[in-house]
Structure 1
């Protein structure tokens, strides 16, 4: 499925942040995700981003208009058209010179909202009991239930063994 840049890359960044080890350095997680431009995060900004990640986790668990509207209201919503890096004009939801935490909140809130409006069923939480991994379903048919083939195989093997022993 083709998503707009906010519904795709931004929502996938939200999933990456939710799935990241809580002890991981946030700037390292962002850099590994190719989130640009990177800046710095002071202690307050890092706490704000970690609180934001907890809010994003709630959206993945039970996406709703109310939760997403709260995120949009709390993120920087200064819409403007950008033409950076020689790209065609496109929308941004935070100023390029805004602090990293402000840009990150605006980007992920807009991405999750765009994805929700396009197809809320593509915001996923792994169906394997005990797995807390979230994902953005980019499959063609939009029927993904597990975060990975490994989790799907575990569930299928367990179901097979249960049927066999019965």
Structure 2
């Protein structure tokens, strides 16, 4: 069996959270990510998730064992196998009854930790100076430096113009 952690829903959620604008409705973001919170994110949970997003951002900018272990230590994780909603067995990293912010924290921390253990160089942020977008490198060769073709083109054109002048 080949496990591909790069497309993992937990890592995708971490990317979406970090790249979300500051005024993004987090309940809506979780719904659009198919996370299915059982209740809307409360104001107190939103404050905690916004703090968590800053910590996730730090991991994308400089992934390390120390940062990821610190994130894992801050979760209320109790992994178990679930089969809810007729789905096949899958891991949950916190109790389904835990507050949504605690569940999101455990889910994203474990997703990033699993990816880091598999291939740490796949966690990254855009190399264009004025771009803050983070990503998970799913390219075949694992050498992605930019969040999009647009950013890559802007950098390459600027480099070309600099060399040509």
**Superposition TM-score, scaled by structure 1 size:** 0.92
Q: Distance in 1 between matches of 2:119 and 2:60?
A: 13
Decide whether the 8 Å contact of 1:31 with 1:38 is kept in 2. Answer: no
**Superposition TM-score, scaled by structure 2 size:** 0.92
1:102 aligns with 2:102: yes
Aligned to 1:135: 135
Decide whether the 8 Å contact of 2:45 with 2:101 is kept in 1. Answer: yes
Query: SS of the counterpart of 1:58?
Result: helix
Structure 1, unmatched stretches of 5+, are none
Aligned to 2:151: 151
Q: Distance in 2 between matches of 1:28 and 1:74?
A: 24
Q: Distance in 1 between matches of 2:31 and 2:98?
A: 18
Aligned to 1:3: 4
Query: SS of the counterpart of 2:124?
Result: strand
In the TM superposition, what are the counterparts of 1:13-92 in structure 2 within 5 Å? 13-92=13-92
Aligned-pair Cα RMSD in Å: 1.7
Q: Give 1:117 deviation, angstroms.
A: 0.4
Decide whether the 8 Å contact of 2:27 with 2:37 is kept in 1. Answer: no
Number of corresponding residues: 164
Q: Give 1:38 deviation, angstroms.
A: 4.5
Structure 2, unmatched stretches of 5+, are none
Aligned to 1:162: 162
Q: Give 1:2 deviation, angstroms.
A: 5.2
**Per-residue CA distance 1:35-92 (angstroms, 9 max, x = gap):** 2245222221111000000000110111111110111111121111111222332221
Structure 1: 4+ residue segments shifted above 6 A: none
Aligned to 1:117: 117
Q: Give 1:32 deviation, angstroms.
A: 2.2
